[in-house]
Amino acid sequence: MAQATLTISSKNYSSWSLRGWLLCKMAGLEFEETHVDLHDTDMRQELLLLSPTVRVPRLTHGDVQVWDVTAIAGYLNEMFPKAGLYPKERVARAHCRAISGEMHAGFHNLRSALPMNLRAKHDSFKIFSGARPDVARVVEIWKQCLDTYGGPFLFGTPTMADAMYAPVCTRFRTYSVTLEPQLEAYIDTILAWEPMAEWITAALEEPEEIEELEVEF
């Protein structure tokens, strides 16, 4: 099998790195991790040579270079069709792609108001009014999936959609966004999921802090 390297940044702060990394783990890809500090100018220049967007994650697999989480998911699904990154059934597969696309392209207010920070815990966090419709939409998406497919993951077994929404689960816990029991149980499932638990352990041990994301609320 071709050699694979996934370029990521901080495990504490980088939600897109987490999504790409979960997809590689779910696919069963054996890969090495390369970490870049996106605030380091030399590293940014190096990354520019690898990933024209200067963004992570970015996957090298043999002679294939692929960046952007949706493209990485599509590639891994082609290479590892048995891994179940997308649901087997056509209607569910379309649904999975649609909600994954929603996360990929939207939820800007949620992302900026509640940045991922696994080491932080804010007990009385007031959600900015602009982010509340995003929270409501996440609730709607999760409820529809769990009611339709029966849980414990959004489409029963882990799929790309769980990788896309995993950082939202951590944000809801970081900023004490409490939801109804069915949705709290989904968050528990994600946080206890083996690859997720591995990522969280590493994030908690990571030394670097990004000052502007360590704000006091």
Ligand X SMILES: N[C@@H](CCC(=O)N[C@@H](CS)C(=O)NCC(=O)O)C(=O)O
Q: Which residues contact ligand X (rule: CB under 6 A)?
A: 9, 14-17, 38, 55-57, 68-69, 104
Q: What is the 3-state secondary structure (H, E, C) of 77-124?
A: HHHCHHHCCCCCCHHHHHHHHHHHHHHHHCCHHHHHHCCCCCCCCCCC
Beta strands 64-67 and 32-35 are unpaired
To ligand X, the closest distance from the beta carbon of 58 in angstroms equals 8
**What is the rounded radius of gyration, in angstroms, for the C-alpha atoms of the chain?**
17
21 or 186, CB closer to ligand X? 21
Angle of the 90-105 helix axis to the 132-149 helix axis, nearest 10: 170
146 or 169, CB closer to ligand X? 169
To ligand X, the closest distance from the beta carbon of 138 in angstroms equals 18
47 or 146, CB closer to ligand X? 47
Distance between CA atoms of residues 21 and 153, nearest Å: 18
78 or 123, CB closer to ligand X? 78
38 or 79, CB closer to ligand X? 38
To ligand X, the closest distance from the beta carbon of 185 in angstroms equals 27
To ligand X, the closest distance from the beta carbon of 167 in angstroms equals 9
To ligand X, the closest distance from the beta carbon of 56 in angstroms equals 4
Task: Provide the strand spans (E) within the chain.
Answer: 4-8, 32-35, 58-61, 64-67
